[in-house]
């Protein structure tokens, strides 16, 4: 290889490294246009990468969190009894799983959210962002956050905290138990609705969103 | 500019880019994705034309 060819190859590799860096900054770790894709373009002889999105946590010892230490992710989720109470089911599951209201059920959650102004048979939950769900959580001493998140953001957050979320295209609320492999693990009161059962993949998330995500911060 | 000068200039540019990539990787390892001395800052130093084109979605740190 001539010096000119070697320099040209190095320039091409620098370009691919820069593209990989941009992909990392944009949260594209796997798939088309991702850091993994550019890495394999730099060195096509690399064996197939077992790509997984990064989950970064502090190496410091975790402070004891009485709320999350009581959390039971395997808490049962009963089927919803009506077509419009998915948000109430998600809220009541969250309160039961966190041991904040062990006896709460779907109908009591409807009352707490506030029927008919905040939740009703015509529209379901009136505020799709989940503001009234957060208000009820706050009434139980729980601090939560809300955001319209990408799959990677939701995956990272729900890996360490439970919550609930609603896809605007899905028009359905579910509680989030955590993560399972590359998917979100959900407590779904309508298993099978639009093909979703107990997990939500990246593809399903992108197809059924955008998602308003609520998660417990303490 | 003769061939030797051109080659020297190319090598100097590659060395500068290598240094910027190294700093960017250090910033990533240290969790600085945006702002001063960050991955984003070094990315724009590597390719100024990317400014305004990138949609950052950096990792969350629990």
Q: Which residues of B touch A159 (CB under 8 A)?
A: 62
CA of A158: which chain B residue's CA is closest? B62
- Residue A79 within a domain: yes
**Which residue range is the domain that position A38 belongs to?**
3-42
Q: Are residues A130 and A85 in the same domain?
A: yes
- Residue A58 within a domain: no
* A157 touching chain B per CB within 8 A: yes
Which helix (H) or strand (E) segment holds residue B47: the answer is none
Q: Are residues A89 and A37 in the same domain?
A: no
Into how many domains does chain A fold? 2
CB neighbourhood size of B46 (10 A): 20
Q: Which pair of tokens denotes residue A124?
A: 């379901």
Tens digit of each residue's pLDDT (9 = 90 or more) over B16-28: 998 898 888 888 8
Q: What are phi and psi of A40, to 5 degrees?
A: -75, -25
Q: Are residues A208 and A110 in the same domain?
A: yes
- Residue A105 within a domain: yes
Q: Are residues A35 and A78 in the same domain?
A: no
Cα atoms found within 13 Å of the Cα of residue A191, Cβ hemisphere only: 10
Q: Are residues A37 and A72 in the same domain?
A: no
State whether B7 and A24 contact (CB < 8 Å).
no
| pLDDT score at A5 | 85
Q: Are residues A19 and A70 in the same domain?
A: no
* B20 SS3 class: helix
Q: Are residues A70 and A112 in the same domain?
A: yes
- Residue A188 within a domain: yes
* B61 SS3 class: strand
Q: What is the mean pLDDT of residues B5-10?
A: 85
State whether B43 and A18 contact (CB < 8 Å).
yes
What ipTM did this prediction achieve? 0.80
Q: Are residues A120 and A201 in the same domain?
A: yes
* B37 SS3 class: coil
| pLDDT score at A58 | 45
Query: Which candidate, A17, A5, A39, A22, places its Cα nearest to that of B10?
Result: A5
| pLDDT score at A60 | 46
| pLDDT score at A1 | 76
Q: Are residues A96 and A204 in the same domain?
A: yes
Q: Which residues of A touch B21 (CB under 8 A)?
A: 14, 17-18, 21
CA of B48: which chain A residue's CA is closest? A18
A197 CB contacts (<8 Å, ≥6 apart)?
Answer: A188, A191
CA distance A185 to A200: 7
CATH code of the domain covering residue A157: 3.90.70.10
CA of B9: which chain A residue's CA is closest? A7
State whether A22 and B31 contact (CB < 8 Å).
no
* DSSP category for residue B31: T
Sign of torsion, CA A193 A211 A102 A160?
Answer: positive
Q: What's chain A look like in SS3?
A: CCHHHHHHHHHHHHHHHHHHHHHHHCCCCCCCCCHHHHHHHHCCCCCCCCCCCCCECCCCCCCCCHHHHCCCCCCCCCCCCCCCCHHHHHHHHHHHHCCCCCCCCHHHHHHHHCCCCCEECCCEECCCCCHHHHHHHHHCCCCEEEEEECHHHHHHHHCCCCEEEEECCCCEEEEEEEEECCEEEEECCCCCHHHCCCEECHHHHHHHCCEEEEEECC
State whether B57 and A18 contact (CB < 8 Å).
no
- Average pLDDT per consecutive 10 residues, chain A (218 residues; last block may be shorter): 84 89 84 78 71 55 64 94 95 95 92 93 90 93 89 87 94 94 94 95 94 88
CA distance A23 to A153: 15
Q: Are residues A29 and A76 in the same domain?
A: no
């Amino acid at each position: 290889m001539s010096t000119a060819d070697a320099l040209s190859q190095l320039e091409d590799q620098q370009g691919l490294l820069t593209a990989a860096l941009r992909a990392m900054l944009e949260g594209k770790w796997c798939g088309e246009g991702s850091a993994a894709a550019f890495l394999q373009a730099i060195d096509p002889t690399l064996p197939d990468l077992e790509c997984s999105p990064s989950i970064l946590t502090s190496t410091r010892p975790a402070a004891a969190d009485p709320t999350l230490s009581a959390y039971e992710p395997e808490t049962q989720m009963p089927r919803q009894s009506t077509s419009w109470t998915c948000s109430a089911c998600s809220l009541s599951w969250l309160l039961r799983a966190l041991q904040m209201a062990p006896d709460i059920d779907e109908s009591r959650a409807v009352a707490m959210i506030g029927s008919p102004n905040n939740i009703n048979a015509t529209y379901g939950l009136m505020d799709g962002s989940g503001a009234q769900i957060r208000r009820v959580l706050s009434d139980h001493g729980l601090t939560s956050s809300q955001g319209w998140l990408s799959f990677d953001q939701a995956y990272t957050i729900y890996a360490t905290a439970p919550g609930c979320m609603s896809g605007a295209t899905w028009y359905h609320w579910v509680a989030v138990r955590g993560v399972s492999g590359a998917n979100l693990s959900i407590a779904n009161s309508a298993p099978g609705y639009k093909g979703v059962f107990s997990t939500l993949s990246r593809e399903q998330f992108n197809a059924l969103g955008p998602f308003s995500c609520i998660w417990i911060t303490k | 500019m003769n061939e030797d000068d051109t080659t020297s200039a190319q090598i100097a540019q590659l060395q500068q880019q290598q240094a910027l990539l190294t700093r960017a990787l250090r910033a990533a390892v240290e969790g600085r994705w945006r702002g001063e001395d960050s991955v984003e800052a070094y990315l724009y130093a590597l390719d100024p034309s990317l400014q305004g084109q990138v949609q950052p979605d950096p990792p969350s740190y629990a």
